[in-house]
Structure 1
Amino acid sequence: MPTFSYKARNGSSQLVEGVLEGAGVGAVVDVLRGQGLMPVDIRETKAKAEKAVGSSLSLFTPKITHIDLLLFSRQMHTLLKSGVPIMRALNGLQDAAINTEMKRVIGEIRESLEAGRELSQSLARHPRVFSPFYLSMIRVGEATGLLETVFFRLFEHLEFERFMREQVRSALRYPSFVVLAMAVAIVIVNIFVIPAFAKVFAGFGTELPLMTRLLLGFSGFMVAWWPALLVGVASGAVGFRSWVATASGRCAWDHWSLRIPIAGKILHKAALSRFARSFALGTRSGVPVMQALSNAAQTVDNVYVAQRVEGMRENVERGESLLRATISAGIFTPIVLQMVAVGEESGAVDDMMDEVGDMYRQEVEYELKTLGQQIEPILIVLLGIMVLILALGIFLPMWDLGQVAMKR
């Protein structure tokens, strides 16, 4: 997600500076306005110094995980619903927190509340812990007086996010392991197995088949240049990580990942499910449509999809209907467009989008359950091709030599 440095003025016309993450400038503007700030200047920045400090501190302090935030939301809902005052609730959560970093953050939130700030403002002082979507929902809860309900909805949303991420990771784990195993097998065969056969073939004194010559040439290249190949692979990995760390590289990679056979459609459906659920949650809680779109863009976990959602927000801001903006985004399936159309006509967009989120969640679950059956034929074909190449390259010379010996 790109990082933006901003300058804004608060209600007292005082200049405020800071850094926020967002899918685009429009998303940052919405977050600042939601915090009661008037943007003056917003610029994209890599925030190298901040990342360097954060990485050095992370070596000594534990990170606040998704589970920590999920438990915090659930516990806050339970305490507030039971009538416990918010300061007392935070005090109890601070004492019960196992993660020392989470304990520190809750303590700073308490101090900020004691200084007269609102809860949303206190949480906004920790942008690495609480996302813009989380802050927006808390502001809605403060405005409507339904803070305990908002905390419960946030808990459900975070639980849904955790489930989707774990399912997608499990979907990609098996094919990644198989491809890695095949790569290791190719390296071992070319460095240790084929050179042993090369000594045998050298004594034949006849011209070897083309496939055998290709295998011997590739094996000799790997044996002679393996240090350079190792450096090249490492450099390629570092270069890829550096490229993905940039805004344009991340967007291009996320766009390409949606086109990966089999896995791409799972990632696409998972992103659409997250968007639909978060958008439905925002609109149902009273968040304006444009701000709900910006908040939903923060939760899709795909920069390309987030940018398309930001484009939807800009189209809606120019006066287009939600359906036309959804069509122009070019990332939604016909069934989503149909549900949006029905939702706009009936005035129940949140219910329709909630159903879309549930539908895609069920489809993702089904795709993950059948992933092995879908990938197995492809892996069998790849393994068969690899075995065929090795068999032709290694056994053809022996077969030809046997035929010559029989003729003699």
Structure 2
Amino acid sequence: FVIPTFTNMFSELGGALPLPTKILIATSELTRKAWYLIPLIPVLIIFLYKLILRSPGRRLVVDKIKLHIPIIGGLTQQVCVARFSRTLGTLLTSGVPILNALETVKDTIGNEFIAHAVLEVRDSIKEGESVSGPMDASKAFPPLVVKMVNIGEETGQLDKMLIQIADNFEEEVDVAIGGLTSLLEPILIVFMGLVVGFIVISMFMPLFSLAKLIG
């Protein structure tokens, strides 16, 4: 609230406020006059996101993009692969035919792009192909997973190999989440430091500029 006072003083002396100070004042004015819109922003974002996902085609594109987001994309893929492997391995162990099992698995993955790949795997198996071949062609599964599935097929222990894949990926997910959690606090501290630093600099720059004008 001290900074707006400098606006009139600078105008009288023929000076102009520094850019950071202008940004700070504009942000402050916008927040003060339109504070009631701030809670609506996340609501609007969520609404638009859900509106986009109503279309299966758009949902497929959005879920594919999710897999390419740095850090989060890799973690999302690991979670989906763990679900795929755990569910399919359990169903096969229980004696469920693989085509029926894949039909069930696609609804548990949580990512439309990978679920679509599972359907392609199922359709390819109907045509007499292996499991690992269409998995590799879909580009939705990590190469290591494809290789392990291929080994499981060749040894006749696909169900056990899928359970092993699920165990490995679930462990990797736990480690990754633990690492992200430990990084969250320092990231927030750095962010708050940058915000406070910007505010302080924006408040003091007019003082230095005003001293030069007076001098």
Deviates more, 1:320-329 or 1:348-357: 320-329
Kindly indicate whether the alpha-carbon contact (under 8 Å) linking 1:271 and 1:301 is maintained by their aligned counterparts in 2: yes
Q: Go from structure 1 to structure 2 and tell me whether the alpha carbon gap of 1:373 and 1:345 turns closer, same or farther (over 3 Å shift).
A: same
Distance 1:336 1:300 in 2: 15
Gaps of 5+ in 1: 1-195
Letter matched to residue 321 of structure 1: S
- The CA deviation string for residues 8-55 of structure 1, in whole angstroms up to 9 with x for no partner, is xxxxxxxxxxxxxxxxxxxxxxxxxxxxxxxxxxxxxxxxxxxxxxxx
TM-score (norm 1): 0.47
- What is the TM-score when the length of structure 2 is the normalising length? 0.83
More helix by share: 2
CA deviations 1:162-189 (Å, max 9, x no partner) are xxxxxxxxxxxxxxxxxxxxxxxxxxxx
1:300 and 2:105 aligned: no
Per-residue deviation, residues 333-355 of structure 1 (Å, max 9, x unmatched): 12212211211111111111110
For the residue of structure 1 that corresponds to 2:195, the secondary structure is: helix
Q: Please give the per-residue CA displacement for 1:250-296, whole angstroms capped at 9, x wherever unaligned.
A: 43443333333333322221111110011111222222222222221
Q: Higher RCO, 1 or 2 (CA under 8 Å, sep at least 6)?
A: 2
Alignment map for 1:317-356 (pairs within 5 Å): 317-356=126-165
What are the residue-to-residue correspondences of 1:63-74 with 2, within 5 Å? none
CA distance in 1, matches of 2:111, 2:17: 51
Greater alpha carbon shift after TM alignment, 201-210 vs 347-356: 201-210
**Alpha-carbon separation, structure 2, partners of 1:309 and 1:345:** 20
Distance change (3 Å), C-alpha of 1:377 and 1:265: farther
Partner residue in 2 for 1:266: 75
Do the aligned partners of residues 365 and 234 (structure 1) sit closer, same or farther apart at CA in structure 2, a change above 3 Å counting?
closer
Q: Structure 1 counterpart of 2:157, which letter?
A: A
Cα RMSD (Å): 2.6
Q: Does 269-278 or 200-209 show the bigger shift?
A: 200-209
Deviation at 1:380?
Answer: 4.3
CA deviations 1:92-127 (Å, max 9, x no partner) are xxxxxxxxxxxxxxxxxxxxxxxxxxxxxxxxxxxx
2:174 corresponds to: 365
Aligned residue number for residue 244 of structure 1: 53
Is 1:280–1:351's contact at 8 Å kept on the other side of the alignment? yes
Q: Which residue of 1 aligns with 2:2?
A: 197
2:7 aligned partner, one-letter code: A
Q: Secondary structure at the match of 1:204?
A: helix
In structure 2, distance between residues paired with 1:366 and 1:278 = 21
In structure 2, the gaps of 5 or more residues are none
**Structure 2 vs 1, CA of residues 378 and 249 (structure 1 numbering), >3 Å: closer, same or farther?**
farther
Name the SS of the counterpart of 1:261 in structure 2.
Answer: coil
Distance 1:261 1:386, change over 3 A: farther
The separation in 1 between residues aligned to 2:25 and 2:62, in whole angstroms, is 36
CA displacement at 1:222 relative to structure 2: 3.9
Alignment size in residue pairs: 211
In the superposition, relative to structure 1, how do residues 253 and 383 fare at CA in structure 2: closer, same or farther (>3 Å)?
Answer: farther
Pairing 1:385–2:190 present = no
Separation in 1 of the partners of 2:177 and 2:123? 34
When structure 1 is superposed on structure 2, of 286-295 and 376-385 the one drifting more is: 376-385
Equivalent position amino acid for 2:90 in 1 = L
- Describe how 1:7-406 pairs up with structure 2 within 5 A: 196-205=1-10, 206-226=15-35, 234-376=43-185, 378-402=187-211
Partners of 1:375 and 1:255 in 2: CA distance: 26
Higher strand share: 1
